[in-house]
Structure 1
Amino acid sequence: MCGITGWVSFETDLTQRREVLDAMTGTMACRGPDDSGTWLAPHAALGHRRLAIIDLPGGRQPMSVTTPAGEVAMVYSGEAYNFTELRRELEGKGHTFRTDSDTEVVLHGYLEWGESVADHLNGMYAFAIWDARDEKLVMIRDRMGIKPFYYYPTRDGVLFGSEPKAILANPAAKRIVDADGLRELFSFTKQPGWSLWFGMSEVEPGTIVRVDRDGAHTRTYWKLEAREHTDDQETTVARVRELMTDIVHRQLVADVPRCVLLSGGLDSSAITGLAAARLREEGEQLRTFSVDFVGQEENFKPDEMRDTPDSPFIRDVAKLVGSAHQDVVLDPAALTDPAVRRAVLTARDIPAGLGDMDTSLYLLFKAIRAESTVALSGESADEVFGGYRWFHDDTARNAGTFPWLAFRTGVQDGGNLLRPDVSRKLDLDGYIADQYRTALAQVEHLDGVSADERRMREVCHLHLTRMVRALLDRKDRASMAVGLEVRVPFCDHRLVEYVYNTPWSLKTFDGREKSLLRHATKHVLPQSVVDRVKSPYPSTQDPGYAAALQQQAKEVLATPGDPVFELASREWVTDAVSQDPATMTSLTRHGLDRLLDLHHWFDIYRPELRV
């Protein structure tokens, strides 16, 4: 797991621009605290920061191979979970290896198969290869978009990096944010390829971008396809169990301490149970970690998203599997600390406005990093198996828009935080409608299925190609900001493909959400978790949190000429800070969090707005 960056220029001698490459590489020191490396050639420069996970002494990067026709150099971020099998296959084809790292296997895979190496990989990865034999850069991203990857075409080449901040460290990249960037920021539709920064794009999941003297060329090597599902219920459950067991076993491979993120929900508990069983076979006790808030269990009140607190279920799982468990308990002061907010913003590069759900995640990962370097997470199970409440809400799933927006109206603009003139210019409703039509056009259908099955395939596709990408980016940025590698077993493409093509009637065969996962993993779960209703990532209910937001927002109001008011409505903020924090709505609290994110983001990034 690492941070990568680079620069290709067909008209500049980049061997004379080391200081710029060093600056780009240095922005990602948090992603790779263990090592740093650079590689320069006349028209290509590669930078790497390393978090050592496998083959600690042998996996240094950039890594290169000299061929008779020229050098091939690579920077790589991520993990190839099938690298052992690929290494044996490549050795059978005559390749020899100097290290035990998966990086070298991927590099030799490219030498053997070219860009088609992507078809052979199982894992999470973003890597770039400069192939001097053809003077081209090849950028490849994993199928689900687990590892972030951005690029910025220039007049004579391209800049790239794991995160926008690496690209923005190059003088050729301009810190411009236009209306389209803002529309997506406030809409939660996750437009494919979107970056907040004008001129910058993501390498889309399952995509290869090749850059040569003729420009950039994009090819999709993987996408969700509609296939007929012929397995019966028993066989389907057995196949999910088989896949889950294999995936967790593969993702536990590391030469550093490992743990599991445990929330007490079905998803993380299933990972915990399977991982604990595996480690017991190896004579090792599993470590588990959870986030909680001071007084949350004692004072918990059910709301529209959460029926129960997490703590009792976490205790049941930890007791059953015998894990060494640790709760990371946070109070409003920690959650609203401006220094923590700024750290999160710097990690994410965008003012996402998720408040305590971002700061608590960052603080959880920071605490975990003191004990472990690799953590397994239950992220993406809801998108794969159909767990969110709006999957099962007729109004939301048939609303003619993204179901998560229909279920919680008003979140897209921060609860009316935006100035009215800005809202009119952005026309978020029109943007969302356009994105929804575009997203639906990408869905393949099978003939002869019912209208309900057709619709639920669309709903599942929307989540797997839109919503999940935003959540994966959030988790990667927050974890890598403290040098923690988070692995996501539910994003294994074999599982995603199989479950995606399972009919909705099978996904809900017991009348509940995530029926397949529930039955496939109940042998490693306590009954309380088997019976538990879906509950999302926790959020503090302490009114002290809202009160702290109000106090900080008052300071923003008192700051003359604060650029945040180029977007935010002073009238809205003035009203929000006067409300009783004990009765404040979640939308108002969300708007205050978004205001504070924007305030600090303007200060950190100094963007030029073009609205």
Structure 2
Amino acid sequence: MCGICGWIDFDHDLGSPDARRELADMTATMAYRGPDDEGTWIDGPAALGHRRLAIIDIQGGRQPMTLDEDGQTALVLVYGGETYNYRELRQRLVALGHRFETSSDTEVVLHAHREWGRRNPCTAVSELNGMFAYALWDTAKRELLLIRDRLGIKPLYYYPTQYGVLFGSEPKAILANSLAERALDADGLRRALCSVADPNNSVFRGMREVRPGHIVRVTREGIKEMSYWQLTDSGHTDDVPTTVRCVRELLEDTIQRQLIADVPLGTLLSGGLDSSALTALAVHFSDERIRSFALDFVGYTDNFTPGPGYATPDGPYVQEVAKFVTTDHMNITLSAHELMEPDVRASTLHARDLPFTLCDKDSSLYLLFRAIRQHVTLVLSGESADEVFGGYSYFHDPAHVQADTFPWLEVDTGWQYLDPDLLEKLDLPGYIDEQYRRALAEVPTLTGPASADPHERRMREVCYLFLTRYLPRLLDRKDRMSMALGVEVRVPYCDHRLVEYVFGCPWSHKTFDKREKSLLRAATADLLPQSVVQRVKSGYPAIQDPIYDRMLRDRFTALLNDRNAAVAPLLSVDGSRTLLNATDSTSWVEHILTLDDFLTDYNVSLTV
């Protein structure tokens, strides 16, 4: 797990002192993603930087890593992430005559490209099972490949320039180069304000994300994008018992692969079905005692108030699971004052690197990983089980399912706090509808008997929307908050084999017991206490302490009274005052505060 960055300039030699200094600045922004080591490689038009968080082959996995042929460097790689099937690939490559100098998965990726990617890089990448974002420079072809894993677990951005490209694991690496502009235009503001992952828009003008499951090829002739993976209709024919058995087998194989590490590891445990099943499997297959970690707030369980998506507090279930599966468990308990500390909010924004926020859920996650880092370097997380197995209430609410938009978006978006002229120019409803139609056009056609059922067809669309336009936002958040503290998070439910298999299942299979996540529940029920098996889903905990809301609104009041606030030109005074006094507006208040902090701290110019 690492941070990568680089610069390709086909018209200039990047070995000059100024260029080297710029590369060093770019690499330095990735220090917290890779606190264990750093390295750079420069030759002619190519300059690559790397910061390393050592997880596998701590001594031998240094980067940038090169592959030599006939005494000359042929390929150079900067790699972030993990390839879980690297041992099997290594055996195949050795049988084909390849020789290895390290035990790292990085070197396996290098040789995989040399063996299987000469004609088509998609062939090589398709061999990899893992989470990754990497850049591969071919010295003979003078070609850069930017490659991102299938679900977008690991981030990767690029910024076309006049003579090539800048790239980095996070926008801050690109912005450290003088060629990159710190500007937010109308499209970027639309992305910042809407709860939809737009794979073609990274907020900063001119900057793009490498799309999940895609390769970006950079040559002197230009930049081209190609897909090496997409969700397809598998024509699922397994009955329910067979499907349940296959899900269990896939989970067991995935967990065993993702337990491979040369550092201490643990699990994130919420007491819900997803994290509890994952923790139980980890305990079963690990030779070491598993440590588990849970988030809690001061007084949360004793004063818990049920609400939409929050039926029960996590605490009692967490303790029951930890005792049942025998983990070495630790609760991380936070207060409202900790969440509102200025340095915590600033660090959270810097980790996010973009003006997105899930309110206190971001800062609490940051503090959770800060505490975890004192004990382990690697944790397994249940992220994406809801998207894969259909866990959210949206999947089961006919009004949300049949809405002619993204199911998680409410009709009233709360945008009344924005300046009316700006709102008219942005046309946010039109932007969301455009994104929705574009996503629908990608959904693979349903085949087989289920294709005649309108509900099955619609649920295929809903599942696709969640996997491609909702999940990426959560994966990005989990990556940023963990890597900001030098913690690697692995997400077994994102294993592409599991995602492909379950995506192909009829919705009637996914709800065969008339509940959410039927397949996951049936596949893992024997591992867990019945209370957890039967527990109704409760989301990632949000603080319920009124002190937090009061502190937030005090800060918002000060912002509204500051005529020089960076966000002021975007706001409607009357709408913002109304928002301040509304009882259910906390999330919108958080969004405005975050946007103001972003514009100020990043010195972003508005061009809307």
- Whether TM exceeds 0.5 here: the answer is yes
Q: Report the alpha carbon displacement of residue 578 of structure 1 after superposing the two structures with TM.
A: 4.7
Partner of 1:47: 49
Checking the alignment, whether the CA contact within 8 Å between 1:87 and 1:105 is kept in structure 2 is yes
Partner of 2:536: 533
| Alpha-carbon distance between aligned partners in 2 of 1:140 and 1:352, rounded to the nearest angstrom | 24
Partner of 1:57: 59
* Deviations 1:100-122 (CA, angstroms, capped at 9, x unpaired): 10001101111111212101000
Checking the alignment, whether the CA contact within 8 Å between 1:353 and 1:595 is kept in structure 2 is no
Partner of 2:257: 250
Partner of 1:77: 80
| Alpha-carbon distance between aligned partners in 1 of 2:574 and 2:346, rounded to the nearest angstrom | 25
Percent identity, please.
Answer: 54
Opposite residue 121 of structure 1, the aligned amino acid is L
**Change in CA separation of 1:313 and 1:409 when aligned onto 2, cut-off 3 Å:** farther
Q: In structure 2, list runs of 5 or more residues that go unmatched.
A: none
* Deviations 1:466-496 (CA, angstroms, capped at 9, x unpaired): 1111111111011000000000000000000
Opposite residue 593 of structure 2, the aligned amino acid is L
Matched, 1:340 2:344: yes
Partner of 2:10: 10
Matched, 1:513 2:520: no
Matched, 1:357 2:361: yes
Q: Report the alpha carbon displacement of residue 604 of structure 1 after superposing the two structures with TM.
A: 1.0
Checking the alignment, whether the CA contact within 8 Å between 1:551 and 1:577 is kept in structure 2 is no
Partner of 1:147: 154
Partner of 1:231: 238
Q: Report the alpha carbon displacement of residue 81 of structure 1 after superposing the two structures with TM.
A: 0.2
Matched, 1:418 2:440: no
Checking the alignment, whether the CA contact within 8 Å between 2:66 and 2:73 is kept in structure 1 is no
Checking the alignment, whether the CA contact within 8 Å between 1:374 and 1:485 is kept in structure 2 is yes
* Deviations 1:14-73 (CA, angstroms, capped at 9, x unpaired): 011110000000001010000010000010000000000000011000001222475311
RMSD of the alignment, in Å?
1.2
Any residues of structure 2 matched to 1:15-164 within 5 Å, and which?
Answer: 15-16=15-16, 17-68=19-70, 70-114=73-117, 115=121, 116-164=123-171
Any residues of structure 2 matched to 1:245-394 within 5 Å, and which?
Answer: 245-279=252-286, 282=287, 284-394=288-398
Q: In structure 1, list runs of 5 or more residues that go unmatched.
A: none
- Three-state SS of the structure 2 residue aligned to 1:39 is strand
Q: Which moved more, 1:185-194 or 1:298-307?
A: 185-194
Q: Report the alpha carbon displacement of residue 193 of structure 1 after superposing the two structures with TM.
A: 2.9
- Three-state SS of the structure 1 residue aligned to 2:126 is helix
Checking the alignment, whether the CA contact within 8 Å between 2:579 and 2:589 is kept in structure 1 is yes
| Alpha-carbon distance between aligned partners in 2 of 1:456 and 1:275, rounded to the nearest angstrom | 31
Opposite residue 203 of structure 1, the aligned amino acid is V
Task: Return the match for 2:181 from 159, 168, 174.
Answer: 174
- Three-state SS of the structure 1 residue aligned to 2:354 is coil
Q: Report the alpha carbon displacement of residue 337 of structure 1 after superposing the two structures with TM.
A: 1.5
| Alpha-carbon distance between aligned partners in 2 of 1:33 and 1:353, rounded to the nearest angstrom | 25
Opposite residue 235 of structure 1, the aligned amino acid is T
| Alpha-carbon distance between aligned partners in 1 of 2:357 and 2:390, rounded to the nearest angstrom | 25
| Alpha-carbon distance between aligned partners in 2 of 1:410 and 1:171, rounded to the nearest angstrom | 41
Q: Report the alpha carbon displacement of residue 417 of structure 1 after superposing the two structures with TM.
A: 2.8
| Alpha-carbon distance between aligned partners in 2 of 1:409 and 1:477, rounded to the nearest angstrom | 30
Q: Which moved more, 1:145-154 or 1:595-604?
A: 595-604
| Alpha-carbon distance between aligned partners in 2 of 1:229 and 1:574, rounded to the nearest angstrom | 53
| Alpha-carbon distance between aligned partners in 2 of 1:363 and 1:138, rounded to the nearest angstrom | 35
Q: Report the alpha carbon displacement of residue 235 of structure 1 after superposing the two structures with TM.
A: 0.7
Q: Which moved more, 1:554-563 or 1:72-81?
A: 554-563
| Alpha-carbon distance between aligned partners in 1 of 2:201 and 2:528, rounded to the nearest angstrom | 39
| Alpha-carbon distance between aligned partners in 2 of 1:567 and 1:527, rounded to the nearest angstrom | 51
Q: Report the alpha carbon displacement of residue 553 of structure 1 after superposing the two structures with TM.
A: 1.4
* Deviations 1:495-528 (CA, angstroms, capped at 9, x unpaired): 0000000000000000000000001011111111
Checking the alignment, whether the CA contact within 8 Å between 2:599 and 2:605 is kept in structure 1 is no
Partner of 1:604: 601
Task: Return the match for 2:464 from 461, 472, 489.
Answer: 461
| Alpha-carbon distance between aligned partners in 2 of 1:433 and 1:598, rounded to the nearest angstrom | 23
Opposite residue 444 of structure 2, the aligned amino acid is E
| Alpha-carbon distance between aligned partners in 2 of 1:410 and 1:343, rounded to the nearest angstrom | 31
* Deviations 1:121-177 (CA, angstroms, capped at 9, x unpaired): 000001101101101001111011000000011111000000011001111110111
Checking the alignment, whether the CA contact within 8 Å between 1:416 and 1:591 is kept in structure 2 is no
* Deviations 1:433-492 (CA, angstroms, capped at 9, x unpaired): 111111111111134421111010000011111111111111101100000000000000
Q: Report the alpha carbon displacement of residue 400 of structure 1 after superposing the two structures with TM.
A: 0.6
| Alpha-carbon distance between aligned partners in 2 of 1:89 and 1:433, rounded to the nearest angstrom | 47
Checking the alignment, whether the CA contact within 8 Å between 1:353 and 1:591 is kept in structure 2 is no
Checking the alignment, whether the CA contact within 8 Å between 1:34 and 1:51 is kept in structure 2 is yes
| Alpha-carbon distance between aligned partners in 2 of 1:331 and 1:2, rounded to the nearest angstrom | 31
**Change in CA separation of 1:191 and 1:152 when aligned onto 2, cut-off 3 Å:** same
* Deviations 1:305-324 (CA, angstroms, capped at 9, x unpaired): 21111111111111101111
| Alpha-carbon distance between aligned partners in 2 of 1:548 and 1:598, rounded to the nearest angstrom | 18
Q: Report the alpha carbon displacement of residue 576 of structure 1 after superposing the two structures with TM.
A: 4.1
- Three-state SS of the structure 2 residue aligned to 1:572 is helix
Q: TM-score, normalised by structure 1?
A: 0.96
Matched, 1:241 2:257: no
Q: Report the alpha carbon displacement of residue 263 of structure 1 after superposing the two structures with TM.
A: 0.8
- Three-state SS of the structure 1 residue aligned to 2:403 is coil
| Alpha-carbon distance between aligned partners in 2 of 1:290 and 1:9, rounded to the nearest angstrom | 46
